[in-house]
Chain A
Amino acid sequence: MSVGTAPANHSRWRGTRLRERIPAQHRKPSRFAQIAGMLLLSASAVFPVYFMLSGALRSQAAWSHSQIGLPTTTSLSAFKAAWSSAQIGLYVRNSAIVTLGTVVLTLVVASTAGYAFAQLRWRGRGFAYLFVIAWLAVPPVALMVPVYEEMNSLGLINTYWSVILFYTAINTPFNVYLMSSYLRGLPDELMEAARMDGARVHSTFLRVIMPMARPAIATLAVFNFLFAWNEFVFALLLLQSDNVKTATVGVLQLQGRFSVNYPVLVAGLLITSLPVIGVYLFFQRYLVRAIVAGAVR
Chain B
Amino acid sequence: MSAVVESDGLSRRPPLRRRRARRRSDAKWAYVYVAPAVALVVGFIGYPLASVIYHAFTTWDGLSPPVWVGWHNFSLLFHDPIFRTAIRNNVLFAISVPIEAIGALILAHLIHQRVPLWRFFRSTFFLPAIYSTVVIGVIISVVLLPQGPVNQILGHVGLSSLRHNWLESSGTAIGSIILVVIWANIGYSVLIYLAGMSSLDPQLEEAARLDGAKFWGVLWKVHAPNLRRVVELVFVINTITAFAYMLPYIYTITQGGPGFSTYATEYYIYDTGFTGQRLGYASAIGMVLAVIMLAIGAIQVRILTRGGRI
Give the B-binding residues of A (Cβ under 8 A). 1-6, 9, 12-13, 15-16, 18-20, 22, 25-29, 31, 34-35, 38-39, 41-42, 44-46, 48, 51-52, 66-68, 108-110, 112-113, 115-117, 120-123, 125-126, 128-147, 149-150, 165-166, 168-170, 172-173, 176-177, 180-181, 184, 192, 195-196, 198, 200-202, 205, 226, 229-230, 232-233, 248, 251-252, 255, 262, 265-266, 269, 272-273, 276-277, 280-281, 284, 288, 291-297
Contact (Cβ within 8 A) B293 A138: yes
Query: Residue of A at shortest CB range from B13?
Result: A192
Chain A residue numbers with a CB within 8 Å of B16 are none
Nearest first, the 8 A-B pairs at minimum CB distance are A13-B198, A142-B286, A137-B297, A169-B44, A146-B48, A116-B33, A113-B37, A122-B27
> Does chain A have a CB within 8 A of B1?
yes
What per-residue 1/0 map shows which CB atoms of B1-24 lie under 8 Å from chain A? 100110101001110000000110
Contact (Cβ within 8 A) A138 B290: yes
Instruction: Knowing A4-B308, A135-B46, A233-B247, say if A201 contacts B26 (CB, 8 Å).
Output: yes
Instruction: Knowing A128-B34, A269-B134, say if A142 contacts B52 (CB, 8 Å).
Output: yes
Chain A residue numbers with a CB within 8 Å of B148 are 67
Instruction: Knowing A195-B4, A280-B130, A291-B191, say if A29 contacts B114 (CB, 8 Å).
Output: no
Contact (Cβ within 8 A) B226 A3: yes
Chain B residue numbers with a CB within 8 Å of A266 are 138
Instruction: Knowing A42-B121, A138-B49, A165-B44, say if A296 contacts B233 (CB, 8 Å).
Output: yes
30 chain-A/chain-B pairs, Cβ below 8 angstroms? A26-B214, A28-B214, A38-B121, A41-B125, A42-B120, A45-B187, A48-B131, A48-B136, A109-B40, A112-B37, A116-B30, A117-B34, A133-B304, A135-B46, A139-B289, A141-B269, A142-B269, A142-B285, A143-B49, A150-B43, A169-B41, A169-B45, A184-B308, A196-B4, A200-B1, A248-B132, A248-B133, A288-B122, A288-B123, A296-B233
Q: Which one of A139, A144, A200 lies within 8 Å of B290 (CB-CB)?
A: A139
Contact (Cβ within 8 A) A66 B198: no
Query: Residue of B at shortest CB range from A291?
Result: B191
Chain B residue numbers with a CB within 8 Å of A128 are 34, 38
Query: Residue of A at shortest CB range from B36?
Result: A109
A25, A229, A269: which has the most chain B beta carbons within 10 Å? A269
Given contacts A12-B198, A67-B143, A295-B191, 20 further A-B contacts (CB under 8 A): A22-B209, A28-B214, A52-B135, A125-B310, A126-B310, A131-B41, A132-B38, A132-B41, A134-B297, A136-B293, A139-B290, A142-B283, A143-B48, A149-B51, A180-B310, A195-B22, A273-B132, A277-B127, A288-B126, A295-B196
Contact (Cβ within 8 A) A141 B297: no
Contact (Cβ within 8 A) B26 A122: yes
Chain B residue numbers with a CB within 8 Å of A48 are 128, 131, 135-136, 139
Closest chain A CB from B91 CB (angstroms): 15
What per-residue 1/0 map shows which CB atoms of B109-129 lie under 8 Å from chain A? 010111111001111111111
Contact (Cβ within 8 A) A139 B286: yes
Chain B residue numbers with a CB within 8 Å of A113 are 33-34, 36-38
CA distance A132 to B15 in the complex (A): 33
Chain A residue numbers with a CB within 8 Å of B294 are 134, 137
> Does chain A have a CB within 8 A of B98?
no
Closest chain A CB from B307 CB (angstroms): 5
Task: Give the B interface residue count (CB, 8 A).
Answer: 122
Q: Which one of B113, B117, B132, B269 lies within 8 Å of A272 (CB-CB)?
A: B132
B177-213: which residues lie under 8 A (CB-CB) from chain A? 183, 187, 191-192, 194-196, 198-202, 205-206, 209
Contact (Cβ within 8 A) B132 A26: no
Chain A residue numbers with a CB within 8 Å of B125 are 41-42, 45
Chain A residue numbers with a CB within 8 Å of B48 are 143, 146-147, 150
